[in-house]
Chain A
Amino acid sequence: MKETEIKRLLSANVICIFSIIVATVTPSLFLENFSILGTHLTWLSICSASVGTVNIVLYFILKPNPSNRRTSLAHKVARFLRCCVYFFMSCILFHGIIVLYGAPLIESVLETFLFAVLLSTFTTLHCLCLLGPNIHMWLRVFSKNGAMSIWDSSLQITAMCSVVGAWLGAFPIPLDWDRPWQVWPISCSLGATFGYVAGLLIAPLWIYWNRKQLTYKSR
């Protein structure tokens, strides 16, 4: 059973990675002079949109945490609205943190905000899909030994990797190399993306490697 779960996780993650590659490659067929560095804002929005849709679609197909009870439509709509609010709030929170880290407050607001959206897509959206708008669940998953399934572990790993990637991505900015990718927020968003991809790859491998030690508490 565990093996199949890991396989499902792996395939889901590969699809996510694939969606990032598609988001990077295909727009140049439709849009003129599209490039990651040149039209970074477009790339940011396309990438977050595609990763977001793929995540949501995967959630509906795979149903990693199947809910037992059937719920009414109104309940579902309310749940969806709460998800939207949570996502928006996380964007604002990320934006705030990025500004506190030293991003310019007024100029290039759009860049900063889109970067925050990208980060939320990599982290919060994932959480929303897997755990739903339930802060207590989030706190549990992100505390020590809180993971209850391989999906939770994967969530932990990818979220950590994307944030750490964005954090490391800030380091080249002060270097005086005058490269186009040193412009705010390109190196950070690239760092976050690479971190996310790395997380997606590492998660199944790590779980596979440690499958003997990993014993999840039943609910």
Chain B
Amino acid sequence: MRLRSGVFASACLLVQALGVGLFLRGFFPVPVRSLPRSGALAGPPAEPPPTGFSSNWTKVPSPLFKKAVIVLIDALRDDFVFGSKGKRFMPYTTQLVERGTSHSFVAEAKPPTVTMPRIKALTTGSIPGFIDVIMNLNSPALLEDNLIQQAKAAGKRIIFYGDDTWVRLFPKQFVEYDGTTSFFVSDYTEVDDNVTRHLDNVMKREDWDLLILHYLGLDHIGHLSGPHSPLIGPKLSEMDNIIKKIHTSLLSKEEGEVTSPHLLVVCGDHGMSETGSHGGSSEGEVRTPLLFVSSAFDRAGGLLKPPELVQQTDLAVTLAIGLGLPISRNSVGQLLLPVVQQKTVREQLRYLHLNGFQLSRLLQENMATYEKDPGFQQFKMAEKSHGSWIKLYLEGNTSEVLRNLGKKVLRQYLEAIRVLSSSLSKQVAQYDTYSMIVGTIIVLEVLVLLLLSTAKALSSRAELEVPLSPLCSLLFYLTCLMLCAVHVVVCTSTESSCYFCSISWLTAIGVIMLISGLLCVILSALEKVFVNPKQMAKNPAAATSSWSEFDMLILAGTVGHVSSLGASSFIEEEHQTWYFLVSTLCLALCQETCRHYFLAKDCDLQLPSSAKANPEEVKGAHHHRDDAGYLQDASKTGKAANSESTRGSEKWMALATPWVVLVCCRLLRSLNQTGVQWAHKPDFGHWLTSSEHKAELSLVASVSLVMIFILVQRRCSLVSKIAMALGLLGVYSYRAAIGNVEFPWQRDSKDISKGIIEARFVYVFVLGIVFTGTKDLLKSQVLSTDAKTKFIGLWEIYSGLVLLAALLLRPHNLPVLVFCLLIQAMMTKYVWKPLEFDAAQVTIMHYWFGQAFFFFQGNSNSIASVDVSAGFVGLDNYVEIPAIFLTGFATYSGPLLWAVHLLCYLSSDVSRNPSAMGHGCFCYALLRSIPVAVYIVLVTGLRYHLFIWSVFSPKLLYEGVHVFITAAVCTFFTAMDHNHLRKVQD
């Protein structure tokens, strides 16, 4: 079967996307979960009965605290409370920690340190899997067994004020709530006033048992200006006053009655890094304070020891015990013993037994060989000694023996719980190896196939033979059979859940047939290359001889980038790699232009004489002369086309272009500092977005919008020109409406809206322009008019996307868009076209620039830099599909715009090289599949690396999504290409 390289490449990419999807599904493990049925059957365990006695303690123990208030301060770092900042700005809290009736801990949050998974960890006590981060986007109700649900079931009345993530997670559990949205990150006073305004009223009332307050202001300050901002101090003082107010009113409530004390918990969901963002695993992001205050506790002693390091998941079980609720089934936390230390030994042992029992049950449900686990064995031992302690106790023994035995049981329990908890936490990192292997095989097969067919696909015909006859061969059936057998064996033998086994048999067989088919095709391609090398020898020889330094640079850059993916710091600082490569590319282009314009003349003069002088050096000067001949031709055609003066100015522009591009890249680099190591350095973007530089931001935005219009409109039709202008005006008024920029005539208006009308106004024009473009494309397809209509159609689609990007990107990123357009325009006019780079080279340059722009717009390889707010532009509330689409587009707008520009460029280039589209598509597919295949193999090897969750997994997600997007783009390419080729054949 003959295939054109474009069709072949997009088919390969689609298959690869399937493989990547399968790998991702296997790589991100499903977190440990208890089986739903078992929880319903088993109630709380009884106290371990000694022989001959039966305990009457079979129910959940009664609550220790009557009312509890949880003050959750978003992004509260431990040093904000326990460090020097705490001493300065939180005097009341510091006094509580040092001399009050309190217990303080440093709770360690597991990455990803993003609000929603952290709230889940705090309320369920389980460790949310990495996949929960992506679910953060649509945040469905929490169905897992959790503290809030248990409290509601026990008849407690819960009141909540604060971040509306809670309201979405627990939609029916609160008797009263007021959710504030974290939509406007630039607002850090109103979000907190919205919470505090209820406080006086609610503290007077008696009709609640659990009050949860989630303050967002500190987090917003962190995002705006970092942990060392002058705004932090006043915010901490505000929080300190709130804690003081709550504590004093709780104390005054207690005065009347002595029944049971109240509890105040102060905690943070995650910290913030040195730049003020969060999501990763740096110390500042992970360590949060956890403070229990209650009159039931002993007064903190005189000598101050640093707070003990505990896990964030420990809060859920401690609160469950404190409020007399059953422990959540999926909790992996350990009871914080100091909180219950005022109780009798029998009660303490009872609590620890409950905790240990719950953990060991979770272990039984998640591990086949649970009996061999040391924690489980220790727990069984502790249970036995607990029984004998009860026996002694019930016999009325009050001697030293009883006390010593009690201490010993306590220690045994604590140790057992610690071991159980850590082995359960490790379970989270269980990989679905089978799905991963299947995915990897598919991805690698596609890569090998692409590499094997490079020479043919990039030949001038841009066609290649895909041998389909082996598909019916014996080998194919044998492989299929063998793989099916393996599938059956694997799926029937493993206990753990496996995604590839759980899909339907028909789909699985389809995938298996795909794998074996690919294998057969690869084998026959290999045979062609190695068995009849003579036939092939001519082409590669010709190819290698024409390899210039420029091609070598491109090859070295690709290889270098791919090999850098193995080091975590190179992934964190991937932008540096791309900036470096792009700068080198510009210098190489500078050399190319110099050679083209200066040495061409020299060659004209030198070549005849040198050929005469040294007839024996033909070998050395072989391609030298080739070059010269080629350049002479080029200059002849150039002279014929242009007059001498325009040629002169063009020459200087061409010489200047690489330098202009270098300067642009340097400016863009200082717009957004990304990465990890240098992320704290001041950048222009932060300066612009800070509230006191609103006027400057407005100026930059308006100039950028005008520039965008000038650069885009030159190839549009009149209708879309007007639409573009109106759309860009709409973008500015949208920015003004949400308060990023201001109109010069309304200086003092403070009303901030979501700008829904303005954003929808822009969407209308985006759709309009894209529609016009599509219409032109269809027209060119049906009527098969000249390539010009098609080019205009493509350019209109491109400009529609530019308009959408202008709307969705962060306000200070509009210059990125301008420079993107400027670089594209200059490169096209002065470098790519005059110097006649071939389609493959131009594609690779586009890809590199696209990658660099991905980072120029402020992205990084950490989840924290995804701008989720782009998903809400023009939407009243969260709607899943548009939100995901808009966020994805905003994140990948750099690579996407460059890819679409490539399409425009190649379609205008088609007259010179009819197979340009196919070559471009193939190169693009190859460039994307090399890093993703290598990275998948690397990540599999590094899956027990320390940074797997904080560095490698986010990068894997980015790579995966990029493959999906590239597959879509390449399919679009092929659709365009198809039309053209058919026309040529006619």
Tell whether A and B belong to one assembly. Answer: yes
Knowing A100-B662, A174-B569, A176-B677, the reply to whether A217 touches B583 (Cβ < 8 A) is no
Task: Please name the residue on chain A nearest to B576 by beta carbon.
Answer: A174
Interface presence of B617 (CB below 8 A): yes
- Contact indicator per residue, chain A 166-177, by CB within 8 Å of chain B (1) or not (0): 010010011110
Chain B contacts for A180, CB-based, 8 A: none
Bound-state Cα–Cα, A144 to B624, Å: 8
Output the least CB separation between B662 and chain A (Å). Answer: 5
Knowing A143-B599, A145-B620, the reply to whether A100 touches B570 (Cβ < 8 A) is no
Bound-state Cα–Cα, A28 to B585, Å: 41
CB contacts under 8 Å to B, within A125-166, are 139-140, 143-145
CB contacts under 8 Å to B, within A171-216, are 173-176, 213, 215
Bound-state Cα–Cα, A101 to B579, Å: 8
- Contact indicator per residue, chain B 52-96, by CB within 8 Å of chain A (1) or not (0): 000000000000000000000000000000000000000000000
Query: Could you tell me if A100 and B610 are in contact, using CB atoms closer than 8 angstroms?
Result: no
Interface presence of A97 (CB below 8 A): yes
- Contact indicator per residue, chain B 642-677, by CB within 8 Å of chain A (1) or not (0): 000000000000000000001101100110000111
Query: Could you tell me if A175 and B570 are in contact, using CB atoms closer than 8 angstroms?
Result: yes
Bound-state Cα–Cα, A102 to B670, Å: 9
Knowing A99-B666, A217-B614, the reply to whether A170 touches B595 (Cβ < 8 A) is no
Chain B contacts for A143, CB-based, 8 A: 595, 599, 602
How many A residues have CB within 8 A of the partner chain? 20
Chain B contacts for A174, CB-based, 8 A: 569-570, 572-573, 576-577, 675, 677
- Contact indicator per residue, chain B 672-690, by CB within 8 Å of chain A (1) or not (0): 0001110000000000000
Cβ contact of A102, chosen from B579, B599, B613, cutoff 8 A: B579
Chain B contacts for A167, CB-based, 8 A: 584
Output the least CB separation between A113 and chain B (Å). Answer: 17
Interface presence of B567 (CB below 8 A): yes
Residue picked from A97, A144, A174, most chain B C-beta under 10 Å: A174
Interface presence of B598 (CB below 8 A): yes
Chain A contacts for B677, CB-based, 8 A: 174, 176
Task: Please name the residue on chain A nearest to B560 by beta carbon.
Answer: A171
Residue picked from A167, A170, A176, A213, most chain B C-beta under 10 Å: A176
Output the least CB separation between B94 and chain A (Å). Answer: 33
Task: Please name the residue on chain B nearest to A140 by beta carbon.
Answer: B602
Chain A contacts for B675, CB-based, 8 A: 174
CB contacts under 8 Å to A, within B578-612, are 579-580, 583-584, 587, 595, 598-599, 602, 610
Interface presence of B137 (CB below 8 A): no
Bound-state Cα–Cα, A175 to B568, Å: 8
Query: Could you tell me if B583 and A100 are in contact, using CB atoms closer than 8 angstroms?
Result: yes
Bound-state Cα–Cα, A144 to B340, Å: 82
Bound-state Cα–Cα, A175 to B564, Å: 10
Bound-state Cα–Cα, A31 to B775, Å: 77
Chain A contacts for B587, CB-based, 8 A: 97
Task: Please name the residue on chain A nearest to B621 by beta carbon.
Answer: A145
Knowing A101-B583, A145-B620, A217-B614, the reply to whether A139 touches B569 (Cβ < 8 A) is no
Bound-state Cα–Cα, A143 to B602, Å: 10
Query: Could you tell me if A139 and B580 are in contact, using CB atoms closer than 8 angstroms?
Result: no
Residue picked from A102, A140, A213, A215, most chain B C-beta under 10 Å: A102
Chain B contacts for A105, CB-based, 8 A: 670
Task: Please name the residue on chain A nearest to B617 by beta carbon.
Answer: A215
Bound-state Cα–Cα, A166 to B326, Å: 64
Bound-state Cα–Cα, A176 to B947, Å: 13
Bound-state Cα–Cα, A215 to B621, Å: 12
Residue picked from A101, A173, A175, most chain B C-beta under 10 Å: A101
Bound-state Cα–Cα, A143 to B592, Å: 11
Bound-state Cα–Cα, A217 to B621, Å: 13
Output the least CB separation between A36 and chain B (Å). Answer: 23
Chain A contacts for B670, CB-based, 8 A: 105
Query: Could you tell me if A102 and B573 are in contact, using CB atoms closer than 8 angstroms?
Result: no
Query: Could you tell me if B610 and A217 are in contact, using CB atoms closer than 8 angstroms?
Result: yes
Query: Could you tell me if A176 and B569 are in contact, using CB atoms closer than 8 angstroms?
Result: yes
CB contacts under 8 Å to B, within A65-109, are 97, 99-102, 105
Bound-state Cα–Cα, A215 to B599, Å: 22
Bound-state Cα–Cα, A205 to B227, Å: 58
Query: Could you tell me if B621 and A102 are in contact, using CB atoms closer than 8 angstroms?
Result: no
Bound-state Cα–Cα, A168 to B627, Å: 30
Knowing A102-B576, A174-B573, the reply to whether A145 touches B666 (Cβ < 8 A) is no
Output the least CB separation between A153 and chain B (Å). Answer: 13
Output the least CB separation between B284 and chain A (Å). Answer: 16
Chain A contacts for B567, CB-based, 8 A: 175
Bound-state Cα–Cα, A101 to B665, Å: 9
Chain A contacts for B663, CB-based, 8 A: 100
Chain A contacts for B669, CB-based, 8 A: 102
Cβ contact of A100, chosen from B621, B624, B666, B676, cutoff 8 A: B666
Query: Could you tell me if B617 and A139 are in contact, using CB atoms closer than 8 angstroms?
Result: no
Chain A contacts for B580, CB-based, 8 A: 101-102, 170
Output the least CB separation between B608 and chain A (Å). Answer: 14
CB contacts under 8 Å to A, within B541-582, are 567-570, 572-573, 576-577, 579-580
Bound-state Cα–Cα, A202 to B570, Å: 31
Chain A contacts for B610, CB-based, 8 A: 217
Task: Please name the residue on chain A nearest to B570 by beta carbon.
Answer: A174
Bound-state Cα–Cα, A174 to B561, Å: 13
Knowing A139-B599, A175-B567, A176-B569, the reply to whether A145 touches B624 (Cβ < 8 A) is yes
Chain A contacts for B576, CB-based, 8 A: 102, 173-174
Task: Please name the residue on chain A nearest to B678 by beta carbon.
Answer: A174
Chain A contacts for B569, CB-based, 8 A: 174-176
Bound-state Cα–Cα, A105 to B684, Å: 13
Cβ contact of B583, chosen from A102, A140, A144, A215, cutoff 8 A: A102
Chain A contacts for B595, CB-based, 8 A: 143
Output the least CB separation between A183 and chain B (Å). Answer: 12
Bound-state Cα–Cα, A146 to B31, Å: 66
Output the least CB separation between A185 and chain B (Å). Answer: 14
Bound-state Cα–Cα, A175 to B572, Å: 9
Knowing A97-B587, A143-B599, the reply to whether A102 touches B624 (Cβ < 8 A) is no
Bound-state Cα–Cα, A215 to B580, Å: 37
Output the least CB separation between B982 and chain A (Å). Answer: 43
Chain B contacts for A176, CB-based, 8 A: 568-569, 572, 676-677
Chain A contacts for B621, CB-based, 8 A: 145
Bound-state Cα–Cα, A140 to B662, Å: 26
Chain B contacts for A139, CB-based, 8 A: 598-599, 602
Task: Please name the residue on chain B nearest to A174 by beta carbon.
Answer: B573
Chain A contacts for B583, CB-based, 8 A: 100-102
Bound-state Cα–Cα, A69 to B579, Å: 49
Bound-state Cα–Cα, A101 to B587, Å: 10
Chain B contacts for A215, CB-based, 8 A: 614, 616-617
CB contacts under 8 Å to A, within B501-517, are none
Residue picked from B610, B613, B617, B666, most chain A C-beta under 10 Å: B666
Task: Please name the residue on chain A nearest to B586 by beta carbon.
Answer: A100
Chain B contacts for A144, CB-based, 8 A: 624, 627
Bound-state Cα–Cα, A131 to B477, Å: 71
Bound-state Cα–Cα, A165 to B811, Å: 40
Task: Please name the residue on chain A nearest to B564 by beta carbon.
Answer: A171
Bound-state Cα–Cα, A140 to B599, Å: 9
Chain A contacts for B568, CB-based, 8 A: 176
Chain A contacts for B662, CB-based, 8 A: 100
CB contacts under 8 Å to B, within A28-55, are none
Query: Could you tell me if A102 and B666 are in contact, using CB atoms closer than 8 angstroms?
Result: yes
A99-B666, A170-B580 given. 8 additional CB < 8 A pairs?
A100-B662, A102-B666, A139-B599, A140-B602, A145-B620, A167-B584, A174-B675, A176-B677
Q: What are 25 pairs between A and B in contact, CB < 8 Å?
A: A100-B583, A100-B662, A100-B663, A100-B665, A100-B666, A101-B580, A102-B576, A102-B583, A139-B602, A143-B595, A143-B599, A143-B602, A144-B627, A145-B620, A145-B621, A145-B624, A170-B580, A173-B576, A174-B576, A174-B677, A176-B568, A176-B572, A215-B616, A215-B617, A217-B614
The 5 closest A-B pairs by CB, nearest first: A174-B573, A176-B569, A100-B662, A175-B569, A101-B583
